[in-house]
Structure 1
């Protein structure tokens, strides 16, 4: 029981941090925000899946992937394909030249549903595909890169190139993927209208619970022997290799886990927002996802969630207030974090917040003791 407490919750301090985040996400936000704002926070939390994966992959494993949008987008597209097929029943598409297929296919003179779309009529298959398709691609990339000892900046450049290639491929195959517009007009999930406020609220809670599940899984991995090996590989990879460990296999594993987390986030994003497009797959969104982890603290799973919330809120605020400057502000934020706050919000809390809180409680404790002694001394 004690081992489970330490590995899943991270001991007393980890349990308190998790409880505070849970109270904020599951109580404060739902009670304080209307349905529209709560749905926006749900969208921010879907990005937090990617940030949590990057903490494992980059913070502990030393693998800086600048292409996590690939897996986020693939998970989102798998879910969008199921939702689009459900919205494209013959009755709803009877005005098309070919009823029963997605509208963008009809516009591009496609008269039959492509073969690779057919399995997405099944919700069970879709749930498996959300995980397995991105993980399979991550496995191929990992085998190709890590078995050949390609790492550091070269790996980052390769992931950027793959993100760009996938974006071009999605946009170019407009009749099969929806092109630059993506897959839109998603209405129901197994007959349940996902556009209503009540549905969006329920999906918010599902999203939050899945996120906490990923955090607990991440803590379990980091508290195991694998977690210690990841940190050792990050700091002294050659020494770990000479000790007889297969470094490439460990890197592939954590890269695939990060891909799975990103894919779940992409699927939940599609459900909450109602569309998926190639704008979430390319280089720019992938770099933004790294910023989420950097701002929150690339060594903190909980910090990654706070980073995703803070940066996305700032992005929304600045894009509404300063639409021509927000990209520069985002870039400046990343530079400031890298140069002056390398451990992000979590590092600030460790170095300043926690000592201040400890001194505050010590001061109060000392005052209470003095008062108690004074009262005891009174006749």
Structure 2
């Protein structure tokens, strides 16, 4: 006899997933309309410029969430890849603004009269657009391979990425002769497509490009974390040894996802550079890379949406507080991180999914319950025979 245990048919599960997918598409469209149409009409040029920078920082937060939230690799050195993307685009803009045979002005301050060889490829726009994400990806891949092949993980991986960050910071900071060292490379007065990068029209163009790239990077991360590859990343995060015993080599997967995360950070760095007007070794400051982790923690690990939300909320709060109470911001940031660690360990989106009322959980994609199957109730005579055998 079969009991009346409720069963969710497969078609119902598919229908639920279809509704969630439709809701996600609607959310993306609403986000694009809000950012690209509504807010440019409501915000001043200054506020819109801030929002553009924060959106570019949300892109790098997606890369952090990809490796930390889904793969369990806490990187404290993503400022390296962020800065490399910024320097690549800034070098092109510096060369693109000069006449035939000229070199950037700062070279003359240090007695350099010929363009260094590693600057020459950046005179090409196609090469630069490729280099913005390939150079950070290659650096991340090499660093990841050296670390992961020796099975270094956990806190040791975090320490190594921060040590690499210090090395790159000192390297770029000391190259006054080749990349203007501590002064960095300015982009606001450079010319791109016949206009100054700092002009209102070009800033609006870069703002819209940032919105589009944020959506594309979200879709890329969504694709990578879905299906079999995404489940493998989560398995590496939860129990890497079991993945290895199952016949998979986690090293290759970790190197790949770390390189992709580095490429995403490079794109974010290039977009941030043209909207902030300068790139400098300060992009590789230790505190800045730690802030990237805080954005993801506040929004919610392994959610992607949480990474975007955390980056926007934290940076907007910093902008507002630093304007009125500049001495309070650091205390607020520390208190916010303590609050997340103690009261909201899953971040804002994690709380909405797991602890908020049912309506909000459904909106944020409430986890599906496991499939249940009908339970067969044995005949009383059979039950009695089994009990006698067990005795």
TM-score by length of 2: 0.84
Relative distance call for 1:343 and 1:169 in structure 2 (3 A) is same
Tell me the alpha carbon deviations over residues 79-132 of structure 1, each in whole angstroms, 9 at most, x when there is no partner: 000001122336xxxxxxxx7121221111111111100111101111111111
Match of 1:245 among 242, 245, 248: 248
State the Cα distance separating 1:321 from its structure 2 match: 2.0
Instruction: Give unpaired runs (5+ residues) of structure 1.
Output: 91-98, 361-379
Native 8 Å contact 1:9 1:18 kept in 2: no
Give the distance between the partners of 2:81 and 2:112, measured in 1 at CA. 27
Which is greater in Rg?
2
**Alpha-carbon deviations, 1:140-193, whole Å to 9, x = none?**
111100111001101101111111111111110111111111101542213232
Partner of 1:363: none
Partner Cα distance (1:149, 1:280) in 2: 29
C-alpha distance in 2, partners of 1:78/1:180?
16
Structure 2: distance between partners of 1:9 and 1:201: 35
Distance 2:362 2:293 in 1: 34
CA distance in 2: counterparts of 1:204 and 1:242, whole angstroms: 47
Question: Does 2:267 match 1:264?
Answer: yes
Distance 1:319 1:212, change over 3 A: same
Instruction: Report the CA distance shift for 1:59/1:185 in structure 2 as closer, same or farther (over 3 A).
Output: closer
Summarize deviations over 1:341-373 as a string: whole Å, max 9, x none: 11112112213556245899xxxxxxxxxxxxx
Equivalenced residues, count? 348
- Is the 1:166–1:282 contact (alpha carbons within 8 Å) kept by the matching residues of 2? no
Tell me what 2:179 maps to.
177
1:307 aligns with 2:310: yes
Partner of 2:185, secondary structure, is: coil
| Distance in 2 between residues matched to 1:220 and 1:9, nearest whole Å | 18
Match of 1:332 in 2: 335
1:309-365, Cα deviation, whole Å (9 max, x unpaired)? 1111111122222222322221221121122111112112213556245899xxxxx
Distance 1:10 1:208 in 2: 23
Q: Which residue of 2 aligns with 1:368?
A: none
- Confirm or deny: 8 A CA contact 1:297 1:347 kept in the other structure: yes
Distance in structure 2 (CA, Å) of the matches to 1:148 and 1:358: 41
Determine the C-alpha separation between the residues in 2 that align with 1:23 and 1:306: 17
Runs (4 or more) in structure 1 with deviation over 4 Å come to: 5-10, 356-360
* Other-structure match for 1:131: 133
Q: Does 1:22 align with 2:60?
A: no
- Asked if the contact 2:83–2:284 (Cα under 8 Å) also holds between the matched residues in 1, the reply is yes
Residue matched to 2:300: 297
**Separation in 2 of the partners of 1:25 and 1:84?**
30
RMSD: 2.2
Contact 1:75 1:265 in 2 (8 A): yes
Distance 2:215 2:20 in 1: 13
Structure that is richer in helix per residue: 1
Cα distance in 2 for residues equivalent to 1:89 and 1:175: 21
Contact residue 56 and residue 268 of structure 2 kept, 8 A: yes
1:8–1:219 contact (8 Å) kept in structure 2: no
For structure 2, the 5+ residue unaligned runs are 1-14, 364-391
Q: 1:194 to 1:166 in 2, by over 3 A?
A: same
Q: Does the residue aligned with 1:113 lie in a helix, a strand or coil?
A: coil
- 1:7, CA displacement in angstroms? 10
